Structure 1
Amino acid sequence: MYTPKIYERSGLLKESWDVKNTDDGITVFNTRTDGEKYIPETIEYGINYDYSGYGYAYEQPRPFIAKTHKELKDSNILKEAMKKDLKDVGFDVE
C-alpha cells in the first residue's frame, strides 16, 4: 500500500517579505532561503527542486511572482490603494 509523505509547510515564504526604496518608489521582494537555496527562485522557475524521498518528482515552475506582477500591472489595485492611503492621512486626492 502506498503511503504518501507529508510535507510540513513552515509558513516562512509568506512571512519573508522585504521592501527597499528605489528612485521610482519601492521594490517588494521575498527573502526566503533554505540553506543556499533561494526559495522564490525555486518556486518561480523550477530551479533546484529536490523531492527525492517523496515518491514523485515535481520540477515544474509555479510562477507566483510573475502572475502577481501581471495582475498588479494590468489593474488599478496599487493606484487605488495609494489614493486611499493618501486620503486616510488627509490629502485631497481625486
Structure 2
Amino acid sequence: MSVIETVRFSLNPGIGAEEIKMAWCGSEGFVRAQPGFQRRRLVEGEDGTWQDIVEWQDMASAKAASAAFDPEAHPELGQLMAAIDPGTVQMSHATVHGEM
C-alpha cells in the first residue's frame, strides 16, 4: 500500500508563490532519486499555508527519504529550506487504504 507524506509549512517573510515554486522544483532531483518515489504535488491552502505532498511506494520508502533529507549532504535542498519558516513545519505519513 502506498503512503502519502504531507509536509505543511508557511513561507519565510519576503517569499512568494514564484519563489517557493522555484525552490520546490530545485529539490526535484533529490526527491525523484529516492527509492519508492511515485509522485509529488505542491499546494497552497486558502489560509496561505503550503503543503508538499509526496506519494511513496510504502512506509519504508517514505521514512528512508525523510531520513535522507539533509541540506548539508544535498545542497540542492538548501533553497527550499531557506524559503520555509522552520518553526511551522509539520510532517505526517499516512497509509492509503482506498483510491477512486
- TM-score, normalised via structure 2 length: 0.28
- TM-score, normalised via structure 1 length: 0.29
Of structures 1 and 2, the larger Rg is shown by 1
- Give the structure with the larger strand fraction: 2
Q: Which has the higher contact order (CA 8 A, sep 6+)?
A: 2
